[in-house]
Structure 1
Amino acid sequence: MEFFNKTGKAALGSRLRMLTETITEDAEQIYKLYQTHLQPKWFPVFYVLSAGEEKTITTIAKEIGHSHPSVSKIITEMRKKGLVAEKKDKADGRRNMVSLTKKGLDINIRFKDQLTDVGSAIETISSQASHDLWKAIEEWEYLLGQQSLLDRVKEQQKKRESGSVQIIDYTPAYKTAFKALNEEWIATWFKMEETDYKSLDNPEGYILEKGGHIFVALYHGEPVGVCALIKMDDPDYDYELAKMAVSPKAQGKSIGWLLGQAIVQKAKALGARNIYLESNTILKPAIRLYEKLGFKKVAGRPTPYERANIQMELLLK
């Protein structure tokens, strides 16, 4: 079809829906052909009950992979048509047992012939097709169970948008942005502290002139993220990753990850043995980012920040 040739695989849902509608329309006619008078959506429930056993709605739902409310609704519809009956479980009066009525069992005889002929027709189509649709569906169900289509699309969105992000070295032109982005982030979760003002009011003197570095993330030319690599006067640690902040309007574009990578690469280029950082455990996305970069928790150390309750390090050598 020309439309699907234009849209490509992005229209997968629409194409599957059209295929489903085509098969469902035929299914309705097939039920009439065999005078079973079932609705296509009843098929899974009727099939499970066709063996003649009594089952609870919960058991049926688990067996066919439907929700309890969905099965309950179908049972209600089938009961109104006289196909199923419900009665209290003798062993547990809190449970209702569902089974086919005499009318349902009579239909079941024709239903078995219908299943045989439909199965043969499907096999014929499969033999004429280049690809096994049934196996393909199984594979897709498995893969989507591992990671949903939504999550996969989010990954692609991040990948595409991160391609418009530039990580550059700090210049005085970004002094205001460096402070504003950090103040915005800190105010969201905590409060500004004395050490914050020292570094944000004078990044050149507090960070750069002491051997540190600052990176700025630009999205379409606009500064939306910053991060600093501060030279530490400490026998155990060479540098500290600090003052990472990303604008809320730019989150979800892997900017924190790109800034973190830039910091790590810079520290390696400077011959650093390690990188230290301080954070707070309520910042779960930040902690996951640091762990993804390779940081691991270390024993608590003295800190100038009231908000810091976790210290981490990344060993480079």
Structure 2
Amino acid sequence: MEFFNKVGKMAIGSRLRMLTETITEDAARIYKLYDNIDFQPKWFPVFYTLQSGDELTITAIAKQIGHSHPSVSKIIAEMVKRGFVTEKKDKADGRRNMVSLSAKGREASVKIQAQYADVSNAVEELSAQASHDLWQAIDEWEYLLEQKSLLRRVQEQQKIRESGEVQIVSYEPRYARDFRNLNEEWISNYFKMEEADYRALDNPDGYIINKGGAILVALYHGEAVGVCALLKMNDPDYDFELAKMAVSPKAQGKNIGYLLGKAIVEKAKELGANKLYLESNTILKPAISLYHKLGFTKVAGRPSPYERSNIQMELDLG
């Protein structure tokens, strides 16, 4: 166990597999203690389910024991070959096979009762000697993993770690090319570049910064991978427009859009804004979801300089 003490909990899969192998090897030997039943431990869930005496379909068995249909089908084929179960066509539906214990299987089900009692008592004894209730822990882990898989949990931890490596900085002229390229990349992927785009992207200093706006840049390992701007608005209802948010496809999944969005909202507050405005398109579902997450709500449409705009949103900062 020195390896597992060294590696820690990230080796949980390997450790559980070793524990399973240890128990399975003992289980195979245990069957031979009782009239030398030629039985494979992996057959047990199917065998136990069929002990009720009912004829069942493979689908019904799979549902009861929580296994996949192909897995149960393979086990049944092995048990048929060893003579423990029989398969026959369903009289009511010829497309289905009905499975039941054979004479050999019914005989084994009688012999195995003593084994059931001894194994149950042995496991109870083992549980009583343990400091922790393994059965209860398994129940809890199965429930928690059903709510959120280990894969999903690792993905979330990956996002948290990578998000911590993202740096949000204020725009400088050296980021002008990144500002243009990142925006042009995503706009061209979904729509077409328009005149209003060129005005902002060709001259971000003159069109945005010098008019009282702001641009923030997301750096990942020093590389500009995301941008977002605040355009000063001459509007009685809104102070700034949140615009020109773009994240490189190679950096997506690192929470950069949300980090940029939060940072640009805070920047707007620093600049004294009371209300923000933005325009987007409903085909950009991740972007719309992000805006909702930031607190934006849909408002009635108003004239837009962009052909692609079909939704307007606002955020009250008061």
User: TM-score per shorter chain, which class?
Assistant: over 0.9
The Cα offsets for residues 224-275 of structure 1, whole Å up to 9 and x where unpaired, read as 1110011222222222111111112222211111100001112223332222
Q: Aligned equivalents of 2:303 and 2:43: distance in 1?
A: 66
Secondary structure (helix, strand or coil) at the match of 1:94 reads coil
Whether 1:108 aligns to 2:112 is no
**Matched residue, 1:289:** 290
Supply the AA of the counterpart residue of 1:302: P
TM-score (norm 1): 0.96
Correspondence 1:201-240 to 2 at 5 A: 201-240=202-241
Root mean square deviation of aligned Cα? 1.4
Provide structure 1 residue ranges, at least 5 long, that are not aligned to the other structure. none
The Cα offsets for residues 1-60 of structure 1, whole Å up to 9 and x where unpaired, read as 211111111111111111111111111111122223221111110010011111111111
Q: Aligned equivalents of 1:63 and 1:167: distance in 2?
A: 52
**Matched residue, 1:37:** 38
The Cα offsets for residues 99-118 of structure 1, whole Å up to 9 and x where unpaired, read as 10110000001222211111
The Cα offsets for residues 74-124 of structure 1, whole Å up to 9 and x where unpaired, read as 111111111111223333333322110110000001222211111111111
**Matched residue, 1:191:** 192
Correspondence 1:1-317 to 2 at 5 A: 1-34=1-34, 35-317=36-318
Q: Aligned equivalents of 1:185 and 1:123: distance in 2?
A: 61
Shift of 1:296: 2.1
Secondary structure (helix, strand or coil) at the match of 1:118 reads helix
Q: Does 203-212 or 119-128 show the bigger shift?
A: 203-212
TM-score (norm 2): 0.96
Q: Does 259-268 or 294-303 show the bigger shift?
A: 294-303
Q: How many residues align?
A: 317
Provide structure 2 residue ranges, at least 5 long, that are not aligned to the other structure. none
Q: Quote the sequence identity (%).
A: 73
Supply the AA of the counterpart residue of 1:67: S
Q: Aligned equivalents of 2:313 and 2:39: distance in 1?
A: 63
Secondary structure (helix, strand or coil) at the match of 1:209 reads helix
Secondary structure (helix, strand or coil) at the match of 1:19 reads helix
Supply the AA of the counterpart residue of 2:44: F
Q: Does 265-274 or 115-124 show the bigger shift?
A: 265-274
Q: Aligned equivalents of 2:144 and 2:277: distance in 1?
A: 38
Q: Aligned equivalents of 1:76 and 1:308: distance in 2?
A: 60
The Cα offsets for residues 118-151 of structure 1, whole Å up to 9 and x where unpaired, read as 1111111111111111111111111111111111
